[in-house]
């Protein structure tokens, strides 16, 4: 179905050097500029980020340093992109949380104060989450093929437990290697594998994920002013930070974890 437009819509996606909006740089931008009269413009541009592209990004995107070495940097592209996008609305996938904030950041770094204040932002990922609920009732219907209210009384612990057990077993059936061709859609019937598949984002050190593990096995702060900094680097630099943690309104498990790490790192 054609989208009813009252002004141009930029449907776009970014490939970047990382996922931290403060430090990531654009290496590719692609967009479809859809106009109210129905015609569309398409373009994709490689961008020289001014820094090496991390190996994990190359593996994911297949964009290499050689592919962007002769491309313009974002500062060079910013004026033409700003002119092209002026007066437009924007759409993307997970764009409200990443692509829009990063695009804004890149404009500001380039000295272009692009005005997003009048723009409207469509995020297909958020619409997907709103329309296709991910609660137990929705999961039961999707995996077990029945309405949960026909089999259980919802929001009673014993009933929800039975429903969850059926959902988990149905997931193993649906994503069995013999039923799914794509490896990423296969679930191994093994508790270790299922635990890994259940993990979203960095593995947490504490249950509240105030501290997470990095790829090298270091404990890293996951919030506030030291977000992204290794715990072993924070404690010697700012001993008062530990005292603040212990007095603040964090969970007991988080405080216990900080206490253990304080003993491990503070006196190094």
Question: Where in the chain are all domains bearing CATH 3.30.420.10?
Answer: 9-127
If you average pLDDT over every residue of the chain, what do you get? 92
Q: Are 249 and 239 in contact (CB under 8 A)?
A: no
240: pLDDT strictly greater than 70? yes
Mean pLDDT of 152-162: 85
Domain 9-127 fold is Nucleotidyltransferase; domain 5 (3.30.420)
pLDDT digits (tens, 9 = 90+) for 178-234: 899 898 899 999 888 888 888 878 889 998 899 999 999 999 999 999 999 999 999
In this predicted structure, what is the pLDDT of residue 132? 82
The position carrying tokens 């590719």 is 28
160: pLDDT strictly greater than 90? no
DSSP 62: -
**CA dist 117 → 86, 125, 224, 236, 255 (Å):** 11, 22, 26, 42, 40
155: pLDDT strictly greater than 80? no
1: pLDDT strictly greater than 80? no
CA distance 219 to 264: 11
Q: What is the pTM of this model?
A: 0.69
The token pair that represents 190 in the structure block: 């093994």
Q: How many CB atoms lie within 10 A of CB 121?
A: 14
In this predicted structure, what is the pLDDT of residue 268? 54
DSSP 262: H
> Which of 150-154, 176-180, 209-213, 251-255 is the least confident region?
150-154
Highest mean pLDDT among 15-19, 72-76, 192-196: 72-76
| Secondary structure string (H, E, C) spanning 196-217 | HHCCCCCCECCCCCCEEECCCC
Mean pLDDT of 35-41: 94
In this predicted structure, what is the pLDDT of residue 267? 64
The token pair that represents 131 in the structure block: 């329309």
């Amino acid at each position: 179905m054609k989208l009813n437009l009252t002004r141009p819509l930029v449907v776009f996606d970014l490939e970047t050097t990382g996922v931290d909006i403060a430090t990531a740089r654009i290496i590719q931008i692609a967009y479809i500029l859809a106009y109210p009269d129905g015609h569309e413009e398409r373009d994709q541009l490689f961008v020289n980020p001014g820094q090496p592209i991390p190996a994990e990004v190359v593996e994911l995107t297949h964009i290499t340093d050689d592919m962007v070495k002769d491309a313009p940097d974002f500062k060079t592209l910013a004026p033409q992109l700003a002119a092209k996008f002026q007066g437009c609305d924007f759409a993307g996938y997970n764009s409200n949380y990443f692509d829009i904030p990063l695009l804004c950041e890149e404009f500001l770094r380039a000295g272009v104060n692009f005005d997003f204040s009048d723009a409207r932002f469509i995020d297909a990922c958020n619409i997907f989450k709103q329309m296709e609920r991910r609660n137990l009732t929705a999961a039961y219907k999707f995996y077990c093929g029945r309405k949960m209210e026909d089999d259980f009384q919802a929001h009673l612990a014993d009933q929800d437990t039975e429903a969850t057990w059926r959902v988990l077993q149905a997931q193993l059936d649906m994503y069995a290697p013999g039923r799914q061709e794509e490896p990423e859609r296969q679930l191994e019937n093994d508790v270790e594998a299922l635990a890994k598949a259940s993990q979203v984002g960095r593995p947490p050190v504490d249950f509240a994920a105030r501290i997470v593990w990095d790829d090298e096995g270091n404990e890293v702060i996951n919030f506030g002013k030291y977000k992204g900094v290794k715990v072993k680097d924070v404690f010697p630099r700012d001993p008062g930070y530990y005292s603040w943690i212990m007095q603040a309104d964090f969970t007991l498990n988080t405080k216990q974890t900080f206490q253990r790490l304080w003993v491990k790192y503070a006196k190094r």
